[in-house]
Amino acid sequence: MSIEQTDFYTQAILSMAALIGLTSFLMLGQGRLLRLIFVFALQGFLLTLTTALAAYILKNPHLYISAVLTLMLKVIFIPWMLKREVIQTNMHRDIEALHNKTMVMLSGACLMVFSYYVLHPIVHTTAPVMLNALAVSLSVVLLGMLLMISHRQAIAHVVGFMSIENGLFFAAIIATKGMPMVVELGIAFDVLVAAVLFGIFFLHIRSSIDSLDVDLLNKLNEVDK
């Protein structure tokens, strides 16, 4: 079944999947923290749009609540919190030097191919094109992990973690056509709690090594070298 024969909803979801994949790539190559946070908010916004679209097409009103929660948490609250953190620690003028950026980007592209390869058996046996978007959401998860590995700032790690969550949430929406309300509320509050915990984590890490660069954690040795 090619894309011309699908309905508008599927096409829109596939476009959204592609855009969310793109934002993951943008985050991967971003050296400036404020811009990283902005792209993260953009990804959250795309997720909100997807949820609202699914709610509208599937006539599933409780998905609107989920969309509003996503908007409040991932587009407004968490980016705002991270941004405040960056400005307080005066890191918004630094450009984080990424080690071999090209390698990271290329391995990101490889991860996308890999996730498609992994999901190919599932996608192949089930007819709907919609499942193709699963490959993208898996690659968003993997790209979030790659982001955590390749960046050194703790804030970038948090953004990577949250984008992993975004990937899972996207997969849940498109695969299940709306989870039960309890699950969605649970996820939303988990994210909220994670955000608060990360705030405390930042505080501690900063008071112990006076920076948010996690590479400096290696210096915390018992014995002097």
Partner 1 sequence: MNWLIAILQATLFVVLAPLLAGWLKWCKCRLQNRKAPSLLQPYRDLIKLTNKQPVVSKQASWLFVTAPYIIFSATVLAASVVPLIAVDLPTSATADVIVMVGFFAFARFFQALAGLDTGTAFGGMGSSREMTISSLAEPAMLMAIFTLTMTASTTNLSGVIIYLLDHGLVLRPSFGFAVFALILVAVAETGRVPVDNPATHLELTMIHEAMILEYSGRYLAMIEWASQLKLMIYGVLIANIFLPRGIAESFTAKALGYGLLAIMVKLALLAVLLAIAETLFAKMRLFRVQEYLGFAYLLGVLGMLSHIILEASR
Between residue 19 and residue 48, which ones bind partner 1 under the rule CB under 8 A?
Answer: 19, 21-22, 25, 29
Q: How many residues sit in the footprint of partner 1 (CB under 8 A)?
A: 29
132 touches partner 1 by CB under 8 A: yes
Q: Which of the 8 DSSP states describes residue 59?
A: T
Among 95, 113, 183, 197, binds partner 1 (CB under 8 A): 113
Residue indicated by tokens 């999901």? 119
Instruction: Give percent helix, percent strand, percent coil of the chain, each to the nearest 5.
Output: 80, 0, 15
* Secondary structure of 113-145 in HEC code, one letter for each residue: HHHHHHHHHHHHHCCCHHHHHHHHHHHHHHHHH
**Among 133, 153, 142, 136, residue whose Cα is nearest residue 202:** 153
User: What is the closest distance, in whole angstroms, from the C-beta atom of residue 95 to partner 1 in the complex?
Assistant: 12
Residue indicated by tokens 């390749």? 150
Among 52, 129, 175, 194, binds partner 1 (CB under 8 A): 129
User: What is the closest distance, in whole angstroms, from the C-beta atom of residue 175 to partner 1 in the complex?
Assistant: 15
140 touches partner 1 by CB under 8 A: no
HSE-CB at 40 with a 13 A cutoff on CA atoms is: 33
134 versus 159: smaller Cβ distance to partner 1: 134
125 touches partner 1 by CB under 8 A: no
What is the distance between the alpha carbons of residues 211 and 32, in angstroms, rounded to a whole number? 16
147 touches partner 1 by CB under 8 A: no
Residues of this chain that interact with partner 1 (CB under 8 A) are: 1-4, 8, 11-12, 14-15, 17-19, 21-22, 25, 29, 101-102, 105, 109, 112-113, 116, 124, 129, 132-133, 135-136
